[in-house]
Structure 1
């Protein structure tokens, strides 16, 4: 048995359905169209924002390369204006490097602490932690440096972390611990000439 027995009944059924649900259909259509339009606008806006951040980052890095620490103010302005983007973290890492090279260690530490806390990228966190540890070692804050190094879990960093642990041990007057750390760095694939010289020097001292 057919649901509708005649063409007239089908037409009347459609009319009745439209009377009941026509307004709802219009509302749904409007919502769907608005949603699609809004998403499309968001995508365009998001892409434009990323492009602007990329351009701004390039400008900031060029300023650091040409002006050094004198570009600190303009680079900081870029960081403050783009805190929702990883470009701000990258800029902070670069600014901290320039600040450290200029001897402004406290300022560099502040940048690195912010970068580490703001990024969700584990690779960038590791970079920030390693650089923090290097500065803390330079300042004589050895325990803080070792704690920072312990937070780096990626095996890709094993060699560099072990070598820095060795450097810290040397500064603490612990040559045996230093030798052990340097050997670990070498076993992890660190084959730098600097590491080889450190091991050779300790070997000559009977370690």
Structure 2
């Protein structure tokens, strides 16, 4: 089960948003907590550091695309050197996607668990946890997948969370619970998603 097109679009939007806004976030942080003295030097240092991390991230992703034998080691090193940053999470999500594309779900699960651990905000945590639950569901780790779904906290992803929750419950034989989850997902679904959810409901 690969990620949906909508999930990949959201991940790309997250990356684009971070690239466009990280300088402003750094400046706000400095102005708020750094005081007046030396803020310009610190700002320049932080911007330079983030640009360096961005370049390293691009190198890691390029290695993945080239299917380099060293990609796993490069990814581990990058995450280790940039703990609790958005770039570390993005790199892990990209690594997990590559593993899913190869049908290597255990490897994807390991990377996604790291992504959850490295996420420092609800947006990235939710993205990582939703993908982790999807991979665990693919491996029929139903209880683990349900636990992972509890970490999806962003309201805009509540529909997909409920849909996957219903699929998991249905796989466990809980038709009543699955129906309730599908009906909940139906409330926030667009036209295409509504038709897919309705098919599930009709087949219960």
Bigger relative CO (Cα 8 Å, ≥ 6 apart): 2
In the TM superposition, structure 1's runs of 4+ consecutive aligned residues that sit over 6 Å from their partners are: none
The one-character-per-residue Cα deviations of 1:104-151 (angstroms, maximum 9, x if unpaired) are 323222222222222212100001111111112122221221122122
Helix, strand or coil at the partner of 1:199: helix
Q: How does 1:90-169 map to 2 (within 5 A)?
A: 90-169=90-169
Structure 1 residues not aligned, in runs of 5+: 1-34
Structure 2 residues not aligned, in runs of 5+: 1-35
CA distance in 2 between partners of 1:61 and 1:183 (Å) = 39
Shift of 1:51: 0.5
Using structure 2 for the length normalisation, give the TM-score: 0.70
Using structure 1 for the length normalisation, give the TM-score: 0.69
Shift of 1:40: 4.0
Bigger Rg over Cα: 1
Distance 1:40 1:137, change over 3 A: same
CA distance in 1 between partners of 2:188 and 2:39 (Å) = 48
CA distance in 2 between partners of 1:84 and 1:136 (Å) = 23
Shift of 1:197: 4.0
CA distance in 2 between partners of 1:106 and 1:129 (Å) = 15
Shift of 1:68: 7.7
